[in-house]
Amino acid sequence: MSKIQSFGIIGGDKRQLYCGKSMEKDGYRIVYSGFEKICGSFDIDNTPFLTALKECDALILPLPCSRDGKTVNCPLADTPLAVENLKTVIGQKPVFCGMKNKLTFHDECIYDYAEGEAFAVENAVPTGEGAIELAMREYDGTIHGSRCLVTGYGRIGRILSAMLKGLGADVTVSARNERDLAYIRSAGMKAIHSERLAGQFDLIFNTVPHVLFDSRTLAASAVGSVLIDLASMPGGVDHEGAQRLSVPVLHALSLPGKAAPKTSGIIIKNAVYHIIREEGL
Amino acid sequence: MSKIQSFGIIGGDKRQLYCGKSMEKDGYRIVYSGFEKICGSFDIDNTPFLTALKECDALILPLPCSRDGKTVNCPLADTPLAVENLKTVIGQKPVFCGMKNKLTFHDECIYDYAEGEAFAVENAVPTGEGAIELAMREYDGTIHGSRCLVTGYGRIGRILSAMLKGLGADVTVSARNERDLAYIRSAGMKAIHSERLAGQFDLIFNTVPHVLFDSRTLAASAVGSVLIDLASMPGGVDHEGAQRLSVPVLHALSLPGKAAPKTSGIIIKNAVYHIIREEGL
Amino acid sequence: MSKIQSFGIIGGDKRQLYCGKSMEKDGYRIVYSGFEKICGSFDIDNTPFLTALKECDALILPLPCSRDGKTVNCPLADTPLAVENLKTVIGQKPVFCGMKNKLTFHDECIYDYAEGEAFAVENAVPTGEGAIELAMREYDGTIHGSRCLVTGYGRIGRILSAMLKGLGADVTVSARNERDLAYIRSAGMKAIHSERLAGQFDLIFNTVPHVLFDSRTLAASAVGSVLIDLASMPGGVDHEGAQRLSVPVLHALSLPGKAAPKTSGIIIKNAVYHIIREEGL
Amino acid sequence: MSKIQSFGIIGGDKRQLYCGKSMEKDGYRIVYSGFEKICGSFDIDNTPFLTALKECDALILPLPCSRDGKTVNCPLADTPLAVENLKTVIGQKPVFCGMKNKLTFHDECIYDYAEGEAFAVENAVPTGEGAIELAMREYDGTIHGSRCLVTGYGRIGRILSAMLKGLGADVTVSARNERDLAYIRSAGMKAIHSERLAGQFDLIFNTVPHVLFDSRTLAASAVGSVLIDLASMPGGVDHEGAQRLSVPVLHALSLPGKAAPKTSGIIIKNAVYHIIREEGL
């Protein structure tokens, strides 16, 4: 059994609140800090940062835990929470955070819940749904019966393409290697080599993190499409080329937190629980 | 071969424009009337009503063709189009419209493209997707893994529940007769009798057009849920009861035209083509 | 609560044994009669007919309960069980049977568990799987990726086509009315009018109980196919025509009992339980 | 364009015949050798080995090409074909074979069509279907609604589990790493760690090639199940332990060739074509 009985949820967005709410249901005592702007609508009390640090057996920081290395990433706080203050508890209690490399100090008691591949796979589900929600909002037809192209068969490509097929779309997926192309066909979808992208599509979802959609590829595959770019900055689309061809491009980032903070929060919770079990905390 | 070579698209919303655009691709000449407010963004010319009536071999009115019996239903027009004017062409050229009973006169040349059951089934697809888009927007978790209740296994219930399952939801469907309950189970979903609605659900989609969700049923099944009511006015939910239990209710009406006007327009086109073939017009 | 505490399972095949076995797990005392040939491998005792009639609170006869009107349908018995003997208990205890019209006498205590549409829907699942098993055995390719035609969108057509799609086949379904054609398309399959059957298919599953596949239709759609006829006798295929075109035809009858007696037995059990609840027995 | 205009199909089973038949449709001239026993039913002429070697631009040997290193693997031939004879053409024309390491000599003109991972992925489809056919034959219930356990989420586990789900089974998949467990859940199935196998299942499909099912695991998960072992020899089941617990075990090997030789033959054809394109033959 774990010795941890209380967690401090320090900063972050709605994901962290849902993470904490779900932990409360599991029987933990939760203290929230850095949520002044939202605590009314979520029915929680906001605790001052230093009190929270002191009172809890363990801390959970957001994903990413910091953007500038100096303050905790806390968009819902009224005042910034200085990363410096965390040092007072480092070594004494476990600190769980996302992207721990954003902190300027290291310690074996700092655990990164976002570094495993399972975490990334799980987040591909809210990413995929967020992309579909976006497509539904922007595209004037139904997903059902639409011609969809998904580029890349990594985590997001694999899960998103299955969802589109589940809604009745006519799905084509591109990949670079024969193995993935075989898996795509075995899943009942059309497979196309990434270097020979061409065709007529109503919706294109790009998951490849380099400029796959240069002018030539846009002309061969994207005219008349809505293109949703899921690749992290700077994305996978030549925006000038797209404009010239009148292809609307939506660059969708950080979908899990925006589209499904509840699911994302529970994914964080499960990742923290997994570390606790594995490390015997 | 049909003798009709040109259609007048008279009034309506984006559905009618997509219907006309798609007919243009099929080789017909199309004249649009009643679209002053939108013709810029859709790259069409707006033709005066009387000219349009005269110039075309056939007319397509919207769904419903009229709301007040006096003017054509034309929310995108600058000036109203009087139903009276249609009489000049009645008997001379076919008029296709939705809900022809809204007109005050009758003629065997007036065809209702919306009266067949196939039309209703086809529109259940954009309705289902519109409901899912709404659920994605309002619910903080993913559809995947969520506990969904769909009440009723008519057209919308049947198609919507399959879509939810295709996205990975845990789907329960209610119905009144044993036959439908057997079909629901055969589709791999949980079946529950409409008179014994109870359980814990994240999302409830009501398709039953009478007050199924009275206070008692709300208390037994909807606490903690988001309820999306797809039943036509006045809907299937006791709104006071829902408010008392803090159950958010979204009454979603006319989803096909809102969520997927392109698909809806093509459904109208296909229904018109079907009448032309069947009637030998 | 029901007053029935014991059932006599009288005649039939493995379905009835699985029905009884499952009832035993539910806490009922079960007496089996008419199973001499199999009782060893099923670990049951065979009780003489008259004893069984006397000892039980209710009786369950097979489906059909009789083929000749004189003896109970009991292919696994060593000696025939005379229907006449049933008369001694009629009126005193409920008798559940399949196709009660096969009995020469009537009584309000005789219930037909097979007459509801739900029963037929539930049996479409083992029928569909039996058809797929047959197709897998006879066809040298995989169902995945094969071009399948299912004729008819009634109970079996609807459930079988969904299973074929679930395995990754390219499914076309034929139907006569526009409503069903719309449902077929909404389920992501190709729809074709029953009167215009044509195309190239690897596998054809006929569910229509009249000769849909005459010489002309066979020539237009079945050359090079394996045809599995699921229609009850005399089936839906012109066998001479099929032979002339070298189309192998498999007439598959009574699949539920052959392919999945366990599931079929539980369907019978549930139908009996449903009658008990509805009738307050 | 390839310079190859004719292929010699040398030995093997029905897969090779289907491979050749399909190549004929693509416009190649095909010569068959080593098929005396079956050429009647397949409507082909059998050509003497040495003639075949001489007459063709390229040769296709079976999978595996040889079992003993001395003769070509040709179960349908009347007389053995000596591997030695192949040497006369080595270096002059391309030889495509499966498992080329079974030959005692090497040459850069010998290509192994079975060595890529794509080939293995594609064969997982007929393997999965063959396993399902076996399960349908041996299990007295339907796959629909049955509780299935698939051990391992490699190629076969991934494709087989999706098929079982497509048929409506209640699917649990085991895996060792968190990444795969996350993928399994994202596919809407239950995930269980390979080291904690336990539960009640109607059907178990083992794909793990070491003894996962020792006495303890069998007792925890397999009592009352039918176990289908898809792992290559010696398989993944302690057979004595299974017998003690009365768990029927079916060791299914070489399913692609048995269950779907046509599909398997086309997979071979596509792999050969792929080599021809890549190597510029």
Question: Per-residue pLDDT averaged across B107-113, rounded?
Answer: 93
pLDDT at position D168 is 97
Domains and CATH numbers, chain A: 6-115+260-279 (3.40.50.720), 119-247 (3.40.50.720)
D257 CB neighbours in chain C (<8 A) are none
Q: How far is C50 from chain D (nearest CA, A)?
A: 30
Q: How far is C192 from chain A (nearest CA, A)?
A: 17
Burial of A175-205, coded b for 16+ CB within 10 Å and e otherwise, reads beebbbbbbbbbbbbebbebeebebebbbbb
**Interface A:D, Cβ pairs < 8 A:** 48
- Residue of C118, C181, C187 lying closest to B182 (CB–CB): C118
Measured torsion, CA atoms of residues A41, A42, A48, A50, in degrees rounded to the nearest 10: -150
pLDDT at position A43 is 85
Q: Residue A109 above 70 pLDDT?
A: yes
Give the whole-angstrom CA distance, residue C102 versus residue C120: 18
Give the whole-angstrom CA distance, residue B217 versus residue A56: 41
Give the whole-angstrom CA distance, residue A178 versus residue C160: 33
A255 CB neighbours in chain B (<8 A) are none
Write down which chains contact chain A via at least 3 CB pairs under 8 A. Answer: B, C, D
Three-state DSSP class for residue A21 = helix
Give the whole-angstrom CA distance, residue A94 versus residue A100: 13
Helices (H), C139-260: 155-166, 178-186, 215-221, 239-244, 255-259
Interface test with C, best of B125, B179, B195 (most C CBs within 10 A): B179
Give the whole-angstrom CA distance, residue A152 versus residue A161: 10
Identify the sign of the CA torsion D58, D64, D70, D71.
negative
Tokens of D240: 């004595």
Q: How far is C70 from chain D (nearest CA, A)?
A: 30
D182 CB neighbours in chain A (<8 A) are 117-119, 121-122
Cis omega (within 30 of 0) for bond into D261:
no
Look up residue D6 and give its amino acid: S
Q: Residue B183 above 60 pLDDT?
A: yes
Q: Residue D82 above 80 pLDDT?
A: yes
Q: How far is B168 from chain D (nearest CA, A)?
A: 6
D187 CB neighbours in chain B (<8 A) are 168
> Are D125 and A186 within 8 A, CB to CB?
yes
Tokens of A81: 């929470």
The rounded percent of chain B whose pLDDT value lies above 90 is 90
**Chain C residue with minimum CA distance to B154:** C183
> Are A118 and D186 within 8 A, CB to CB?
no
Residues of D with CB under 8 A from a CB of B: 144, 168, 186-188
> Are C121 and B187 within 8 A, CB to CB?
no
Within A198-259, strands assigned E span 203-206, 226-229, 249-251
Residues of A with CB under 8 A from a CB of C: 144, 168, 186-188
- Tell me the per-residue pLDDT of D4-15, one tens digit each, with 9 for 90 and over: 999 999 999 999
Look up residue C78 and give its amino acid: D
- Tell me the per-residue pLDDT of D122-166, one tens digit each, with 9 for 90 and over: 999 999 999 999 999 999 999 999 999 999 999 999 999 999 999
pLDDT at position C233 is 86
- Tell me the per-residue pLDDT of B59-80, one tens digit each, with 9 for 90 and over: 999 999 999 999 999 999 999 9
> Are B125 and A145 within 8 A, CB to CB?
yes
Cis omega (within 30 of 0) for bond into D75:
no
Three-state DSSP class for residue A128 = helix
Three-state DSSP class for residue A165 = helix
- Comparing CA positions, the residue from C100, C102, C120 lying closest to residue C111 is C100
Q: How far is C150 from chain A (nearest CA, A)?
A: 19
> Are A116 and D159 within 8 A, CB to CB?
no
A144 CB neighbours in chain C (<8 A) are 186, 188
D253 class by beta-carbon count within 10 Å (0-12 exposed, 13-18 middle, 19+ buried): middle
Q: Which residues contact B116 (CB under 8 A, 6 or more apart)?
A: B271, B274, C178, C179
Give the single-character DSSP code of D145: T
Q: Which residues, in sequence order, are bridge partners of residue B82?
A: B71
- Tell me the per-residue pLDDT of A128-167, one tens digit each, with 9 for 90 and over: 999 999 999 999 999 999 999 999 999 999 999 999 999 9
**Chain B residue with minimum CA distance to D164:** B188
- Tell me the per-residue pLDDT of C262-276, one tens digit each, with 9 for 90 and over: 999 999 999 999 999
- Residue of D144, D168, D188 lying closest to B168 (CB–CB): D188
> Are A133 and B133 within 8 A, CB to CB?
yes
Residues of C with CB under 8 A from a CB of B: 116-119, 121-122, 124-125, 158-159, 162, 177-179, 181-183, 185-187, 274
- Residue of C129, C142, C263 lying closest to D129 (CB–CB): C142
> Are B142 and A165 within 8 A, CB to CB?
no
- Comparing CA positions, the residue from A128, A125, A147 lying closest to residue A226 is A147
> Are B274 and C178 within 8 A, CB to CB?
yes
> Are B121 and C162 within 8 A, CB to CB?
no
- Comparing CA positions, the residue from C140, A190, A179, A158 lying closest to residue D119 is A179
> Are B182 and C274 within 8 A, CB to CB?
no
**Chain A residue with minimum CA distance to B257:** A140
Sheet with C110-112: list strands edge to edge: C29-33, C6-10, C58-60, C95-97, C110-112
Q: Which residues, in sequence order, are bridge partners of residue D203?
A: D148, D226
Q: How far is C22 from chain D (nearest CA, A)?
A: 13
C280 class by beta-carbon count within 10 Å (0-12 exposed, 13-18 middle, 19+ buried): exposed
Give the whole-angstrom CA distance, residue B169 versus residue B149: 10
The pTM of this model reads 0.96
Tokens of B272: 């018109």
Give the single-character DSSP code of D45: P
pLDDT band of residue A95 (cuts 50, 70, 90) is very high
Interface test with C, best of D21, D41, D140 (most C CBs within 10 A): D140
Tokens of B8: 């007048």
Say which residue the tokens 């997903």 belong to.
Answer: A143
Burial of B103-140, coded b for 16+ CB within 10 Å and e otherwise, reads beeeeebbbbbbebebbbbbbbbbbbbbbbbbbbeebb
pLDDT at position C91 is 87
D186 CB neighbours in chain B (<8 A) are 144, 168
A166 CB neighbours in chain B (<8 A) are 163, 165-168
For C181, phi and psi rounded to 5 degrees?
-60, -40
Contact D34, D8 (CB under 8 A): no
For D133, phi and psi rounded to 5 degrees?
-60, -45
Within A161-274, strands assigned E span 170-175, 190-193, 203-206, 226-229, 249-251
**Count of residues for chain C?**
281
Contact D89, A152 (CB under 8 A): no
Got the DSSP string for D157-194?
HHHHHHHHHHTT-EEEEEESSHHHHHHHHHTTSEEEEG
Question: Per-residue pLDDT averaged across C250-265, rounded?
Answer: 94
Tokens of D182: 């996350």
A260 CB neighbours in chain B (<8 A) are 139-142
Write down which chains contact chain C via at least 3 CB pairs under 8 A. Answer: A, B, D
Q: Residue C1 above 60 pLDDT?
A: no
> Are A122 and D182 within 8 A, CB to CB?
yes
- Residue of A119, A182, A187 lying closest to D122 (CB–CB): A182
> Are A178 and D124 within 8 A, CB to CB?
no
- Tell me the per-residue pLDDT of B207-232, one tens digit each, with 9 for 90 and over: 999 999 999 999 999 999 999 999 98
> Are A186 and D118 within 8 A, CB to CB?
no
pLDDT band of residue A233 (cuts 50, 70, 90) is confident
- Comparing CA positions, the residue from C251, C256, C260 lying closest to residue C98 is C256
> Are B186 and C274 within 8 A, CB to CB?
no
- Tell me the per-residue pLDDT of C172-210, one tens digit each, with 9 for 90 and over: 999 999 999 999 999 999 999 999 999 999 999 999 999
pLDDT band of residue D106 (cuts 50, 70, 90) is confident
pLDDT at position B155 is 97
- Tell me the per-residue pLDDT of D232-276, one tens digit each, with 9 for 90 and over: 888 999 999 999 999 999 999 889 999 999 999 999 999 999 999
pLDDT band of residue A1 (cuts 50, 70, 90) is low
pLDDT band of residue D211 (cuts 50, 70, 90) is very high
The rounded percent of chain A whose pLDDT value lies above 70 is 100
Q: How far is D72 from chain C (nearest CA, A)?
A: 24
